[in-house]
Amino acid sequence: MQELSHRRKSKQRGLIFEIVRSLKSHPTADEVYEIARLTMPAVSLGTVYRNLRLLADSGDIHEVQFETGPARFDGMTEEHEHFICTKCGAMRDISPTPAMKYAAATHPDLIGHSINGYKLSFNGICSECNKNHS
């Protein structure tokens, strides 16, 4: 279980952290706000934004930003990649394989550069959408 790195944990920040950690859906700030309100009706959207920002800055959660759509928040801080469904927007975690790392390290366009990491995302139609289609 991961512990919050903040010495001064606010109750609100703790709850927001728990929400992001427990969801696998990579929620947006608005989605976190909707869930946080169920437990803390007094919480404001601004507070949720501010705490998400603090948690992301300290590395307790990750912010994932793609070309389109609002920023999403990821409770999984271990190294991983994403698959995004272009139909329903679902974002699934992909555990990195040695082949992916090898490809990044040996790509001809990267020769001469020092590679410290890479970001990769797969786009397509998720299994749920595939099921509903057929």
Which stretches of the chain bind Zn ion, using CB under 5 A? Answer: 74, 76, 85, 87-88, 90, 93, 126, 129
C-beta atoms surrounding 31 within 10 Å: 18
Q: Do strands 81-85 and 91-94 pair parallel, antiparallel, or not at all (unpaired)?
A: antiparallel
CB 2 within 8 A of CB 60: yes
Contact yes or no for 29/71 (Cβ under 8 A):
yes
CB of 31 to Zn ion, least distance (A): 14
Phi–psi pair at 105, nearest 5 degrees: -80, -20
Residue closer to Zn ion (CB basis): 45 or 81: 81
Q: Using the minimum distance from each CB to Zn ion, give the nearer residue, 35 or 43.
A: 35
Joined tokens for residue 70: 């609002």
CB nearer to Zn ion: pick between 12 and 17: 17
The nearest distance, CB 108 to Zn ion, in angstroms, is: 29
Of residues 90 and 104, the one with the C-beta less far from Zn ion: 90
**Distance in Å, CB of 64 to Zn ion, minimum:** 6
The type of residue at 127 is S
- Rounded to a whole number of angstroms, the minimum distance from the CB of residue 117 to Zn ion is 15
